Amino acid sequence: MFARIGVAIGLLALVTGLLALPGLLRHRQRRRRLAPPDGGDVEVSQQAVDAAWSEVRDSFVDYGYTWPSGSPRAVGRQAAQVLPEDAGRALVILSRQVERSRYALAAVHSADLSALVGTVRDGLRTDKGWDARLISEWWPRSWWRALGQALAWQALWARAKAVIAGWRAR
């Protein structure tokens, strides 16, 4: 009897762990993207700005919004329309930082990227119910989208290798 209880508890722990895995991996990715630069430089690298931009894009997807296409500035203006005023302003500031980091000759001096991303994420959550927030945090759409893309590339690579192997066999 105790063996069955132990197996049931083990299976429950396994299922719980598997259900929590996407949210935990997404949280880890967010922490890595928003980690402060070493040395405390005032200048912000293009990689740090792009990581913050990627985090905002994935957060939009996680909360069920559509990420617009276009230049960073156009995306920032368009996406800011679905956000409260302060979050929209933070998104526009971040979009300008992205453009400067990519196209300006001088180094970018930025406000705290993590704070900007946090403000945008807070804005994304404001009109969502507790259930939508829970799903967005623990079952993020962006994670599943990335997994699907990775599997598609893996399948494409396997097909390409099969075609190449077929050519070599001739």
Provide the pLDDT for residue 112: 87
Is-contact 120 57, C-beta < 8 A? no
Q: Which residues of 115-127 are buried (b: 16+ CB within 10 A; e: fewer)?
A: ebbebbbebbbee
The reported pTM is 0.77
pLDDT in tens, 114-144: 999 999 999 999 989 899 888 888 889 888 7
Q: Which residues contact 2 (CB under 8 A, 6 or more apart)?
A: none
Q: What three-state secondary structure class fits 34?
A: coil
pLDDT in tens, 30-59: 999 888 766 555 567 888 899 999 999 999
